[in-house]
Structure 1
Amino acid sequence: MTILLVSTYELGHQPLHLASPTAALQDAGHDVRSVDLSVEELTDGHLAGVDKVAISVPMHTAMRLALDVARRVRDVGRSIPVAVYGLYAGVGSDEHVGGLIDRAIEGAYLGELVEWAADGGVGLTRSLARERHPIPVRAELPGLDAYARLRVDGEERLAGYLEASHGCRHRCKHCPLPVVYDGRLRVVAPEVVAADAAQQVALGARHLTFGDPDFLNAPPHAIKTLEAVRAAAGEDLTFDVTVKVSHVLDHRSIWPRLAELGVTFVVSAFEQADDRLLALLDKGHTVADMREAVAILSDAGIAVRPTWLPFTPWTEGSHIEQIVRFIDETGLWGSVDPIQMSIRLLIPDGSLMLGVPELTPHLTGYDATSLGHRWAPEDPGMDALQSKLADLVEHADAEGAPDAVALQRLVTVISDHLGVDLPEVGDPTAAPRLTESWFCCAEPAARQLTAATGTSDCAC
């Protein structure tokens, strides 16, 4: 059986969710081809002689783009079975599974994907099986130089991508993970992660991103995995990880050790600088916790790159002002990606946000095209501000403006819109970062959708 695996977007990383299923399907005796549409074009040649097509959808944007891929496949050969697999495979399933899409596999997809490749079938499957993960096969993927790099100390370094676990122990309401995993965690054997790290270093990687939803869901496993990676791939490697604010605090004693092991920066979902909005999002932390997290990481010599969710149904102008002042007071201007200031809450199918009573008055219907529930803010002026900020970010990105310049423009627009004086960004020291911005639980900007199809420099 010849299977074509397709990735539309994996946050600018060489797609693990092509490499891992390639290994599993090859082990089962299948001929596997792959194409990454974030850096390659899908051609009729890719589809020639293919028996089945499976599309990776680890993100909402990827699922939206997957539907376009499925339509292309149908146009070329209507009899070719099409599957989607990954965290967002169930989004839009009522409209598309059984028609445009034959099979949708959520959660732990490797075993189900191998079974589908052999036997076919139609419908939505959610699996939380404890799988044996093979060492990913990356040989046929585009080189690491086609993907996001680490930018640090005035230079850019090739970066790879790993996952030591899937799922999450937490149930933040705006997050897609609890919809599928419901507080469950599935780990990848350290020796498998280490072998994958070693092959990426052989391809030129000097930095590795751990894409786990929360690297400290299982701290002993995290430490063991990092130690195994360094032993297999080299002690000069650096890493970035994603960790909840509450986990930064709960495991404060672990950070010096993580710094010793090469952790350079931490992505953490701060989201808001108002305790009421944090509670509505069920984040499990407060503004005071965020300040403490910054201090803990700083003391360990680790940078923090906060993510923000400024625009929610309940956002008022004062909340945007609070975010700006928090960033200034904590000295984080060098750690904020400009697009983070324009992020708008995404509410896809099945989102736990739909169970929040305070949201109901703001819902205005489901949009099948965007695969999300539309909502209107309490303050209509916030939509106008969000649109201004998003446009500004698009233009700044197009002209290649430095982050500090783009952020100052954003602050000026916010100040003018709100009629308040806000601190200047100045010329902050840039913290280590990837050249691709981190996004989650957010509506994609236009540039993110076009980029994922190969028509722009950046994507989400």
Structure 2
Amino acid sequence: MAIEALPKIKELAPDASLCVYGLYAPMNADLFRSLGVKTILGGEFENSLVSMAQRIQAGEGDTQTEPETCLEKIEFIAPDRSKLPTLSKYANLINPDGSTLTVGFAETTRGCKYHCTHCPVVPVYNGKFYVIPADIVLNDIRNQIKEGAQHISFGDPDFFNGPGHALKIVRALHQEFPALSYDVTIKIEHIVKYPEEMKVLKETGCLFILSAVEAVDDDILGYLDKGHTRADFINALAFLHEINIDLTPTFVAFTPWTTLEIYLELLRYIVELQLIESIAPVQLSIRLLIPAGSCILDIDNLDGIIGEFDASILGHPWANPDPRVDKLQQDVQAWVMQAEADGLSRADIFKGIWTMSHEIADRPVPELDLEHTGKPIPRLSENWYCCAEPTCEQLVSF
């Protein structure tokens, strides 16, 4: 989408000096410069962004003098969101009864101290993370509540990179705004490691935890260096059920190591664990993105599977050793897009995925019990993507 946007931006503002910033910016620096971008910033970007603006304003030219990736600690200030669209223009929270809540957004940390091989945070931050002072976070949330926020979605790559810091913030938040709810993203291994802290989340208004489960195959989890096993996932899910926090798992369902049997196994576990209502159907079509600089490229058993960098997808194309798996991914993605456009339920969409997956594997299609799909849970109105190649819907929508 960025590649599509840049020529149009240059057409609208031919004299503008273009800057891109974010996780994928320095990873694709050569490509962006070839498209006319003058400044590329990643990591802790704010000071460099100010420097760029001052440089251009002073007439010093648009040749970048700032580092492409900055990991120096910066002095955080509460964001000024006054010029942004109103919160009602963004994703909202949909409750099981159909009611909605206006959603705000905050981060308590930046970066991540873990090294999951497929994660775009790792090539930039390389295991570093930075704590945003509690008073800054709380002031930002207060300002959003004044603008109508009823629920806060914390966007930390892992809310428990610093569990003590995180708990300090949610305790203070709950004391000041007891009716406010929130959601967080936490690794499965942290859900298992911090049971008492999970109870604090429940007590302070946490509605659900989003966790990048990624797979239920232990070999794939090992390649991704996720730090958890299938058994850990099952145990984490059971514990969260006990304390009444919903888990929203996300997956990278299609990887170079995915076989038809591994995919069918994933579907079986979703059925057995009654997670059909907890998983956005698009998650079952997600295909691994391998961006420039990805740690996936260092894994030994991918020779001949991964191609040269392709600017059109900002990543390395790859083909599954079994062409049927790639065909299944395309079919699942197309089915999910059409089914959601037609307003089908998550259960009916899953049934379609279940059927086509068994058929392409030349297996009998087992009867699917849709009476026990799990209870509907709170969810955001926009699906959450990570480490995924762009879907056709995303590209078309631009």
CA apart distance, 1:161: 0.9
CA apart distance, 1:299: 1.5
Residue 305 of structure 2 aligns with an amino acid whose one-letter code is: H
CA distance in 2, matches of 1:198, 1:116: 30
Comparing 424-433 with 270-279, greater Cα deviation is found at 424-433
Q: What are the within-5 Å matches in structure 2 for residues 39-54 of structure 1?
A: none
Residue 236 of structure 2 corresponds to 293
Matched, 1:102 2:38: yes
**Aligned residue pairs: how many?**
387
Higher strand share: 1
1:111 to 47, 64, 73: 47
Matched, 1:244 2:187: yes
Residue 212 of structure 1 corresponds to 156
CA distance in 2, matches of 1:273, 1:314: 12
Residue 353 of structure 1 corresponds to 296
Residue 438 of structure 1 aligns with an amino acid whose one-letter code is: W
CA distance in 2, matches of 1:366, 1:81: 26
CA distance in 2, matches of 1:426, 1:378: 33
1:329-382 deviation line (CA, Å, top 9, x unaligned): 212111010001111010011101000111222012221111110111011100
2:91 to 148, 159, 180: 148
CA distance in 2, matches of 1:186, 1:445: 31
CA apart distance, 1:228: 2.9
Residue 389 of structure 2 corresponds to 443
Matched, 1:122 2:68: no
1:100-151 deviation line (CA, Å, top 9, x unaligned): 1101100001111001111143276101121222211222222222221111
Q: Closer, same or farther in 2 for the Cα pair 1:186/1:405, shift >3 Å?
A: same
CA apart distance, 1:425: 5.5
CA apart distance, 1:231: 4.0
1:426 to 361, 365, 370: 370
CA distance in 2, matches of 1:141, 1:284: 38
Residue 70 of structure 1 corresponds to 6
Q: Closer, same or farther in 2 for the Cα pair 1:363/1:198, shift >3 Å?
A: same
Task: State the secondary structure of the residue aligned to 1:239.
Answer: strand
CA apart distance, 1:220: 0.3
Contact 1:328–1:423 (CA under 8 A) maintained in structure 2: no
Give the RMSD, CA atoms, in angstroms: 1.6
Q: Closer, same or farther in 2 for the Cα pair 1:310/1:425, shift >3 Å?
A: farther
CA distance in 2, matches of 1:68, 1:277: 33
Structure 2 length-normalised TM = 0.93
Q: What are the within-5 Å matches in structure 2 for residues 363-442 of structure 1?
A: 363-418=306-361, 419-422=363-366, 424=368, 426-427=370-371, 428=373, 429-442=375-388
Residue 60 of structure 2 corresponds to none
Over the matched positions of the two proteins, sequence identity in percent amounts to 35
Matched, 1:200 2:136: no
1:52-86 deviation line (CA, Å, top 9, x unaligned): xxxxxxxxxxxxx2333332232234331111111
Comparing 377-386 with 135-144, greater Cα deviation is found at 135-144
CA distance in 2, matches of 1:357, 1:309: 20
Q: Closer, same or farther in 2 for the Cα pair 1:420/1:225, shift >3 Å?
A: farther
CA distance in 1, matches of 2:154, 2:135: 15
Residue 136 of structure 1 aligns with an amino acid whose one-letter code is: P
CA distance in 2, matches of 1:113, 1:98: 21
Residue 110 of structure 2 corresponds to 166
Q: Closer, same or farther in 2 for the Cα pair 1:229/1:79, shift >3 Å?
A: same
CA apart distance, 1:326: 1.1
Residue 167 of structure 2 corresponds to 223
CA distance in 2, matches of 1:399, 1:268: 28
CA apart distance, 1:447: 1.1
CA distance in 2, matches of 1:104, 1:231: 41
Residue 236 of structure 1 aligns with an amino acid whose one-letter code is: A
Contact 1:190–1:228 (CA under 8 A) maintained in structure 2: no
1:24-50 deviation line (CA, Å, top 9, x unaligned): xxxxxxxxxxxxxxxxxxxxxxxxxxx
2:199 to 256, 264, 282: 256
CA apart distance, 1:190: 1.1
Residue 87 of structure 1 corresponds to 23
Matched, 1:190 2:134: yes
CA distance in 2, matches of 1:348, 1:417: 29
Task: State the secondary structure of the residue aligned to 1:363.
Answer: coil
CA distance in 2, matches of 1:69, 1:384: 30
CA distance in 2, matches of 1:444, 1:67: 13
Residue 33 of structure 1 corresponds to none
* Runs of 4+ displaced beyond 3 Å: 420-423
CA distance in 1, matches of 2:354, 2:237: 22
Residue 122 of structure 1 aligns with an amino acid whose one-letter code is: Q
